[in-house]
Amino acid sequence: MKLRVGYELQYEFPQPTPLIAMLNIHYSRVADLAAPDHIVIIPSVPISCYRDGFGNWCSRIVAPAGHMSLSTDAIVTDSGLPDEIALDAAQIAVEKLPEEAIVFLLASRFCDSDRMLDLAWTLFGHTAPGWARVQAICDYVHQRIAFGYEHARVTRTASEAYQEGRGVCRDYAHLAVAFCRALNIPARYCTGYLGDVGTPPPFPPGDFAAWFEAYLGGRWHTFDARNNTPRIGRVLLARGRDAADVAIATTFGPNTLTSFRVWTDEIAEGPA
């Protein structure tokens, strides 16, 4: 199937302000793009790009004083299949993990797994290691946190999400990742597009989504504690230790986000 994905972000800046955007589709999905998802900036300003330590594509600009918009509109081909379930995916002993997975065992800014060791083992130590344990974590987090955009707070850590019992998709992902790491399962935070394909209406407003990947059975697998069911049409933007690594826009000065739109829509394909 084909998906139309995109965003429009509008800002007001009181002065010229450096900005780093992480808004391009991840290199692992570039082959699925019908055309490059270039960032359109109005008014036009110079842009330079680089890859960060996790392989994410980052764009640097200096936003001019006044109004500025960032947008894109792209078409992505997707398999149309839901997230894979691999019930036999086993947990890998720490000493046998590949070096690149080790960083995703460590506590990070929002995934403070070091504060949750005893709790994690109390809650999940009785579960079977591997897929069943990660799914048990997702089931618990899905029930523990009450979703609501009014509960969003950009400074909330995993342990605070556990204590407060409320949040948005990033909080579900942070808490699940922290539990996984406390149980010696590498886990990394993901952000991207996720539409409503295959789900019943009414549909919520468009937004970027957060989920996570756990390293089991020698590879990374997708999990989603917020929705807690296999979904269709995920389009990855970036991966990192937590949301601090994959912010869609990091600004180095005062600003106001005046408008925010995200879309992920299935394109109806007619008969051949």
Give me the residue spans of the domains in the chain.
Answer: 2-79+248-267, 94-245
If 0-12 CB within 10 Å is exposed, 13-18 middle and 19+ buried, where does residue 28 land?
exposed
Going by their DSSP bridges, the two strands 66-77 and 2-13 should be labelled as antiparallel
pLDDT at 157: 98
pLDDT at 92: 97
Our CA dihedral for 144, 146, 149, 152, rounded to 10 degrees, sits at: -40
Which of the following CATH numbers is that of domain 94-245: 3.30.2290.10, 3.40.50.2000, 3.40.50.12280, 3.10.620.30? 3.10.620.30
Do 2-79+248-267 and 94-245 show the same overall fold? no
CATH class of the structural domain 2-79+248-267 = mainly beta
Question: 212 pairs with which residues across the strands?
Answer: 189, 223
pLDDT at 198: 82
pLDDT at 205: 74
pLDDT at 201: 76
Residue 33 makes CB contacts below 8 A (sequence gap 6+) with 25, 74, 75, 76, 77
pLDDT at 271: 56
How confident is the chain (272 residues) per 10-residue block, as mean pLDDT?
Answer: 95 98 96 92 96 96 97 95 96 97 98 97 97 98 94 95 97 98 98 89 82 98 97 96 96 96 86 52
Q: Is 104 helix (H, G, I), strand (E, B) or coil?
A: helix
